[in-house]
Amino acid sequence: MTSQTPILDVSHMSIAFGGLRALEDVSVQVNENEFVGLIGPNGAGKTTFFNSITGYIRPSEGKILFNGENLVRKPPSKIANYGISRTFQNIRLFPKMTVLDNVSIPMHSTPKYSVWAAMLGLPSVKRVQIDTEKRALEFLSIMGLVEHKDRQAGTLPYGLQRRLEIARALAASPKLLLLDEPAAGMNNDECNELIELLRGIYKTFNLTVVMIEHHIDIVMKLCSRIYVLNLGKVLAEGTPKQIQTDPQVIKAYLGERRRKA
Ligand SMILES: Nc1ncnc2c1ncn2[C@@H]1O[C@H](COP(=O)(O)OP(=O)(O)OP(=O)(O)O)[C@@H](O)[C@H]1O
């Protein structure tokens, strides 16, 4: 890692659920424009790590700095406004709403008009709504979803719902995008398409990305650096090559996945 100030600086963070230490003394630094992987066995604490950054779980110890701002004790809505968006392991869309509306909603989180203007139906409100729809369609186009724009989100095949989740996260204009198992449940072809899509949006939107993923080939292809969590602790950190050849990582995680593959 270079010596620049990290955009995300998590230091000595611990989280316990009753007697279970889900995270223990975890320190993770991510530089601007990095694409970082977070891997590890089931129950290692990866999603808990995302939940703490996004304000869903409060750490018992440690600091979470984003662009120098301490996120600990801040509510999820405020953290989202700082420029952190995420997707969820269990897809969280509005299933009864259209695909287009699912992407438009995050753009309304900071409306560019007053309540009065909206109530009076002023032309400025209409203009903002047209702009919002145009931008939402652009995100759908990037994610290959335009042809499905009028469908109810819940009726999309699983792989497309995952893509829609990413489009939604992008619509909030994040600086930092947290992807929680974006390839879960996808077949090989879908995984290959996802790699290209993620590579594209990472470059186009100048993003910083942290991705949890069990498909190791996806992590190895996209990430320049990887953290490995095991039993709530950072087991290793390094380049894909370093991680793939680390005996501790092979023992705790990669060996098991290779046997399954
Ligand atoms: N809200 C909660 N209450 C109690 N225990 C929890 C809670 N959330 C997570 N845990 C526990 O904390 C540990 C870490 O869970 P976490 O979901 O972060 O793991 P993970 O690495 O994301 O696993 P997976 O790869 O299976 O998604 C697990 O033992 C889990 O059962």
**% of the chain residues with pLDDT over 70:** 88
Q: Which ligand 1 atom is nearest residue 181's CA?
A: 27
User: Is the pLDDT score of 227 beyond 60?
Assistant: yes
Same domain (yes/no): 190, 256: yes
**Lining residues, ligand 1, CB within 6 Å:** 17, 20, 22, 40, 42-48, 89
Question: 213: which 2 tokens?
Answer: 């993923």
**Which of 173, 205, 228 delimits the end of a domain?**
173
**Which of 145, 173, 201 delimits the end of a domain?**
173
Computed over every residue of the chain, the mean pLDDT equals 89
CA of 24 to the centre of ligand 1 (A): 13
**% of the chain residues with pLDDT over 90:** 72
CA of 43 to the centre of ligand 1 (A): 5
CA distance 70 to 58: 12
The residue whose C-alpha atom lies closest to atom 3 belonging to ligand 1 is 17
Q: What is the CATH number of the domain that holds 58?
A: 3.40.50.300
**Which of 115, 149, 173 delimits the end of a domain?**
173
Those residues whose C-beta lies under 8 Å from the C-beta of residue 177, and which sit 6 or more positions away, are: 85, 86, 169, 170, 207, 208, 209, 210
Q: Strand pairing partners for 21?
A: 16
Those residues whose C-beta lies under 8 Å from the C-beta of residue 146, and which sit 6 or more positions away, are: 137, 140
Asked if 164 contacts 156 with a C-beta cutoff of 8 angstroms, the reply is: yes
User: Is the pLDDT score of 116 beyond 70?
Assistant: no
Domains contained in the chain, number: 2
**Confidence at 2, pLDDT banded by 50, 70, 90:** very low
Question: 159: which 2 tokens?
Answer: 């792989």
- Whole-prediction pTM value? 0.89
CA distance 41 to 125: 49
Substitution candidate for ligand 1 out of 28, 39, 48 with most atoms within 8 A of CB: 48
Question: 73: which 2 tokens?
Answer: 């004790």
Same domain (yes/no): 250, 125: no
Same domain (yes/no): 116, 16: no
User: Is the pLDDT score of 119 beyond 80?
Assistant: no
CA of 232 to the centre of ligand 1 (A): 9
- The lowest-confidence range among 72-81, 89-98, 240-249 is 89-98
Handedness of CA 87, 26, 230, 217 (dihedral sign): positive
Same domain (yes/no): 67, 98: no
End-to-end CA distance of the chain: 31
Same domain (yes/no): 40, 77: yes
CA of 17 to the centre of ligand 1 (A): 9
CA of 45 to the centre of ligand 1 (A): 6
- Domain span at residue 195 reads 1-83+174-260
Distance of CA 20 to the CA centre of its chain: 25
